[in-house]
C-alpha cells in the first residue's frame, strides 16, 4: 500500500478516536447534570425501558435477516463461490456483517444517551433556557460524534485491512440495509404512537399533548427516540459511509490508471477534516442566557462549515491535491447549506408558508391538507435544482482533469456536503431529546415557565430537524449519483475481465433502459405507501386500545389521583406492529432491483437507478418538507394564533400534522436509504447482471 494513503488512513483513525473521546466527555457531562424529581425520573425510566425493549426486539429480527443476507452474499458475491476465489466471498460477507454491526451500535449509543439527556434537559428547564438547551444539545452531540467517528473508523479499517473496494461496498451495503429497516421500523413505531395520541387526546378529548392520562403518551415519547434518534442516526451513518465508499471506489480506480494514491488520500483527508471541524463546532457551541436556540444551533453549523472550507483549502495547498476537486467539495457543502435554508423557509413557523397554511386551516382540515401539499411540492424545486446544479458544476469543474474525474468530482461534492454530518446529527438528535423533555416537564408539573422554555426548545428542534432532513436528502442525492458512477466502474471492471464491451452511460431511447427507468421511478412511491399503510394499520389498533382504556379504567378520563393508564399496552402495540411491517417494504425494493437486473441486465439497471433517484428525491423532499410545515403550523396555532388551542382551526391543524407525521418521520427520510440500498445492490450484483440476464 502507498505510504501517503497509509498516512491519511492513520490520521483518519486518530481523528475518529478523538471524536469518541469527545463523545465520552459529553456523555459524562450530561450524566452529571442534577436530576431529583421523582415523577420525572419515573416517567423517564418508562421511556428508557420502552426504547430498550423495542430496540432489542428489532435487532433480534434484523439479526436473522442480516444472517440470511450474509449467507447469500457468501454464496454469490462478488461472483458465485464455485466460480471464483472463495476468499473474496468470505471477505465480502464479513464486510457486510461488519457494516451492520457498526450501524447497530450507532443506534444503540443514540438511544442510551437520548433517554438520559431528556430527563436532564427537563429538570434544567427550571433553571433557565441555557442549561436546558445545553443538556439537550450535548446529548445529541454524543450521538453525532459517535456515529461519524464510527463511520470514518469503519471505512478506514475495511480498506486498510482488505485493500479491496468491493469489500468496502459490502460494508456500505451492511450499513445501508440495517439503516433501511431501522429507519422504517422506528418510523412506523413513532408515528403510530404520535398519531394515536394526537387524534384521541387533542381532537376527541381536548386534553394537552403530553397529558399523563393519555395511554399513548409514553409510547409517543419512546417513538421519538427509536424513530428520530436511533433511526436517523443509522440513516446518516449509512449516507456518510456510502458517500465515502462511492468516492473511494472511483478514487482507487483513477489512482490505478494514473499511478500513486493522490485521489484516495484526498478522500480520507477531507473526511477526517470534516469530522475534526464537527468536533471543534460541537466543543464551541454556546447559547446566551436569554439567547435563541435556533440561532445557537444554526451558528454552530455555520462555524463548522467555515472551519471545514478553510482547513481543506490549507490541506489542498500543503499536499498538492487538485484544486478543482476542492472546488467540487466546496460546491457540495455550499449547496447543502442552501438546501437547508430552503427547507427552513418552508417549515419555520416565523415564515410565510406556515402562516398561510394556518390561515387556510380556519376553513377546515381539507384546506389545511391542500395548502400544505401545495407548499410541500413548491419546496422541492430549490433542493432539486440545488442537487442538479451542484452535480453539474462539480462534473464540469473536474472534467478537464481527464477520464473518470467528472464523476469523481460529483462524489467529492457528496463528501463535501456530508463533511459536517457530525454537527448535522448533533442538531438532529437534539430535536427528539427536547421534545421528550417538554413531555416530561408537563408530566412532572414543573410549571408554566419551564413548559414555555421547553416549548421554545422543541420549536427550534422542529425547525432545525426540517433543515437536517433537507440536508440529508440532498446529500443522499449526490451520493447516489456518485454510486451510479461506482456502478459503472464495477460493471466496466467486470466487463474488461470477461472480455465484454464497457459502458459509458445509458441511452433512454434504448427500450431496455426505458423499461428500467419506469420501474425504478415507481419504487419509491410503492415503498412509501407500504410504510404509511403500516402506520395506518398500527395506529388504528392503538386508537382502539386508547378508547378501551378510557372506557374501562374508572377515573382515568377525570384524572383521579392514583389512576394510571396501562402505558405498556400501547408500547407493545407499537413495537409488535412496527416489527411486523418493517421487513416487507425493504424486501420489495431489493427484490425488484434483482428482478430488473436479471431481466434487462446492466442497461436496465442503469435506467432503474436513474428513475429511482429522480422519483425518490422528489418524494422524499416533498414528504419531509410538507410534514415539517404541518407540524409547525399546529405549533403556530397552539401558540395563540388563529384561535389558539381548542379552536376549530387547531383541530384542522392537528389533522394536517397527523397526515404529515408519517410523511416526515416514516416514509420521507426512509426513501433516501432505499435509494442507497438499491444502488449498492446494483453495484454488488453488477457481474451477475452482466452475465446472467434475459435481454442484457
Q: Using CA atoms, how far apart are residues 559 and 83, in angstroms rounded to an integer? A: 70
pLDDT of residue 1: 54
pLDDT of residue 274: 93
Q: How many CB atoms lie within 10 A of CB 132?
A: 29
Q: Using CA atoms, how far apart are residues 675 and 313, in angstroms rounded to an integer? A: 32
Q: What is the CA radius of gyration of the chain?
A: 24
Identify whether the C-beta of residue 255 lies closer than 8 Å to the C-beta of residue 264: yes
Identify whether the C-beta of residue 665 lies closer than 8 Å to the C-beta of residue 435: no
Identify the CA nearest to 387 among candidates 557, 621, 219. 621
Q: How many CB atoms lie within 10 A of CB 84?
A: 13
Identify whether the C-beta of residue 297 lies closer than 8 Å to the C-beta of residue 464: yes
Q: How far is C-alpha 212 from the chain's CA centre?
A: 30
DSSP state of 665: I
SS (H, E, C) 432-499: HHHHHHHHHHHHCCCCHHHHHHHHHHHHHHHHHHHHHHHHHHHHHHHHHHHHHHHHHHHHHHHHHHHC
DSSP characters over 347-362: H-TTSHHHHHHHHHGG
Nearest-10 crossing angle of helices 567-638, 217-225: 80
Q: What is the mean pLDDT of the chain?
A: 88
pLDDT of residue 470: 67
Low pLDDT (below 50) residues in the chain: none
Backbone angles phi, psi at 80, to 5 degrees: -50, 135
Q: How far is C-alpha 59 from the chain's CA centre?
A: 18
pTM of the model as a whole: 0.88
Phi-psi region of 562 (alpha: psi -120 to 50; beta: other; left: phi over 0): left
- Cα 251 to Cα 261, 275, 403, 456, 566, distances in angstroms: 8, 20, 12, 45, 56
Q: Using CA atoms, how far apart are residues 380 and 59, in angstroms rounded to an integer? A: 34
Q: Using CA atoms, how far apart are residues 681 and 169, in angstroms rounded to an integer? A: 9
- Cα 308 to Cα 301, 342, 404, 423, 469, distances in angstroms: 11, 22, 26, 12, 21
pLDDT of residue 111: 87
Give CB contacts under 8 A, 24+ apart, made by 31-35: 31/116, 31/120, 33/120, 33/123, 33/124, 33/131, 33/135, 34/123, 35/119, 35/120, 35/123
Amino acid at each position: 500500500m502507498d505510504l501517503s494513503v497509509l498516512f491519511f488512513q492513520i490520521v483518519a483513525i486518530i481523528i475518529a478516536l478523538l471524536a469518541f473521546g469527545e463523545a465520552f466527555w459529553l456523555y459524562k457531562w450530561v450524566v452529571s447534570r442534577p436530576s431529583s424529581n421523582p415523577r420525572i425520573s419515573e416517567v423517564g425510566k418508562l421511556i428508557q425501558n420502552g426504547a430498550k425493549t423495542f430496540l432489542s426486539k428489532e435487532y433480534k429480527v434484523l439479526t436473522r435477516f442480516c444472517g440470511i443476507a450474509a449467507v447469500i452474499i457468501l454464496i454469490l458475491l462478488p461472483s458465485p463461490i464455485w466460480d471464483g476465489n472463495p476468499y473474496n466471498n468470505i471477505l465480502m460477507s464479513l464486510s457486510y456483517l461488519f457494516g451492520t454491526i457498526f450501524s447497530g451500535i450507532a443506534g444503540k449509543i443514540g438511544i442510551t444517551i437520548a433517554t438520559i439527556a431528556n430527563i436532564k434537559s427537563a429538570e434544567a428547564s427550571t433553571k433557565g433556557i441555557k442549561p436546558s438547551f445545553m443538556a439537550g444539545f450535548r446529548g445529541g452531540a454524543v450521538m453525532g460524534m459517535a456515529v461519524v467517528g464510527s463511520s470514518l473508523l469503519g471505512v478506514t479499517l475495511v480498506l486498510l485491512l482488505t485493500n479491496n473496494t468491493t469489500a468496502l461496498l459490502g460494508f456500505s451495503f451492511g450499513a445501508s440495509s440495517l439503516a433501511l429497516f431501522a429507519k422504517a421500523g422506528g418510523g412506523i413505531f413513532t408515528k403510530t404512537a404520535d398519531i394515536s395520541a394526537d387524534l384521541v387526546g387533542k381532537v376527541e378529548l381536548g386534553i394537552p399533548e403530553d397529558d399523563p392520562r393519555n395511554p399513548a403518551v409514553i409510547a409517543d415519547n419512546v417513538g421519538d427516540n427509536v424513530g428520530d434518534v436511533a433511526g436517523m442516526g443509522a440513516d446518516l451513518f449509512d449516507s456518510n459511509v456510502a458517500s465515502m465508499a462511492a468516492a473511494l471506489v472511483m478514487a482507487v480506480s483513477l489512482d490505478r490508471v494514473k499511478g500513486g494514491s493522490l485521489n484516495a488520500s484526498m478522500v480520507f483527508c477531507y473526511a477526517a477534516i470534516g469530522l475534526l471541524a464537527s468536533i471543534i463546532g460541537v466543543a464551541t457551541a454556546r447559547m446566551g442566557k436569554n439567547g435563541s436556540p435556533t440561532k445557537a444551533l444554526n451558528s454552530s453549523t455555520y462555524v463548522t462549515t467555515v472551519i471545514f472550507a478553510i482547513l481543506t483549502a490549507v490541506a489542498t495547498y500543503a499536499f498538492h491535491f487538485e484544486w478543482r476537486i476542492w472546488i467540487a467539495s466546496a460546491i457540495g457543502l455550499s449547496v447543502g447549506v442552501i438546501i437547508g435554508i430552503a427547507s427552513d423557509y418552508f417549515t419555520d413557523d416565523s415564515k410565510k408558508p406556515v402562516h398561510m397554511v394556518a390561515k387556510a386551516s380556519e376553513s377546515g382540515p381539507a384546506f389545511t391538507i391542500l395548502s400544505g401539499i401545495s407548499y410541500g411540492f413548491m419546496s422541492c424545486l430549490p433542493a432539486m435544482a440545488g442537487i442538479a446544479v451542484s452535480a453539474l458544476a462539480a462534473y464540469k469543474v473536474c472534467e478537464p482533469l481527464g477520464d473518470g474525474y467528472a464523476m469523481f468530482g460529483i462524489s467529492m461534492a457528496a463528501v463535501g456536503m456530508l463533511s459536517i454530518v457530525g454537527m448535522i446529527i448533533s442538531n438532529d438528535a437534539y430535536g427528539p431529546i427536547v421534545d421528550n423533555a417538554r413531555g416530561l416537564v408537563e408530566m412532572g408539573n414543573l410549571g408554566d415557565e419551564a413548559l414555555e422554555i421547553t416549548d421554545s426548545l422543541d420549536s427550534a428542534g422542529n425547525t432545525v430537524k426540517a433543515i437536517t432532513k433537507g440536508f440529508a436528502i440532498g446529500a443522499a442525492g449526490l451520493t447516489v449519483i456518485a454510486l451510479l458512477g461506482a456502478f459503472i466502474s464495477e460493471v466496466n471492471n467486470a466487463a474488461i475481465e470477461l472480455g465484454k464491451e464497457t459502458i459509458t452511460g445509458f441511452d433512454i431511447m434504448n427500450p431496455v433502459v426505458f423499461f428500467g427507468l419506469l420501474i425504478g421511478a415507481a419504487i419509491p412511491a410503492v415503498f412509501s405507501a407500504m410504510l404509511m399503510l403500516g402506520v395506518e394499520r398500527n395506529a388504528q389498533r392503538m386508537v382502539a386500545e386508547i378508547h378501551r382504556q378510557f372506557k374501562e379504567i374508572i377515573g382515568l378520563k377525570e384524572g383521579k389521583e392514583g389512576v394510571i393508564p396501562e402505558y405498556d399496552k400501547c408500547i407493545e402495540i407499537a413495537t409488535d406492529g412496527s416489527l411486523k411491517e418493517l421487513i416487507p417494504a425493504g424486501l420489495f425494493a431489493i427484490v425488484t432491483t434483482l428482478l430488473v437486473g436479471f431481466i434487462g441486465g446492466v442497461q436496465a439497471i442503469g435506467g432503474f437507478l436513474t428513475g429511482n433517484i429522480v422519483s425518490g428525491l422528489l418524494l422524499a423532499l416533498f414528504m419531509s418538507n410538507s410534514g415539517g410545515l404541518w407540524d409547525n403550523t399546529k405549533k403556530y396555532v397552539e401558540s395563540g394564533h388563529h384561535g389558539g388551542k381548542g379552536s376549530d382551526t387547531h383541530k384542522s391543524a392537528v389533522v394536517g400534522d397527523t397526515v404529515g407525521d408519517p410523511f416526515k418521520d416514516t416514509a420521507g427520510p426512509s426513501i433516501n436509504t432505499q435509494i442507497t440500498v438499491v444502488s449498492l445492490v446494483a453495484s454488488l450484483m453488477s457481474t451477475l447482471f452482466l452475465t446472467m440476464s434475459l435481454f442484457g
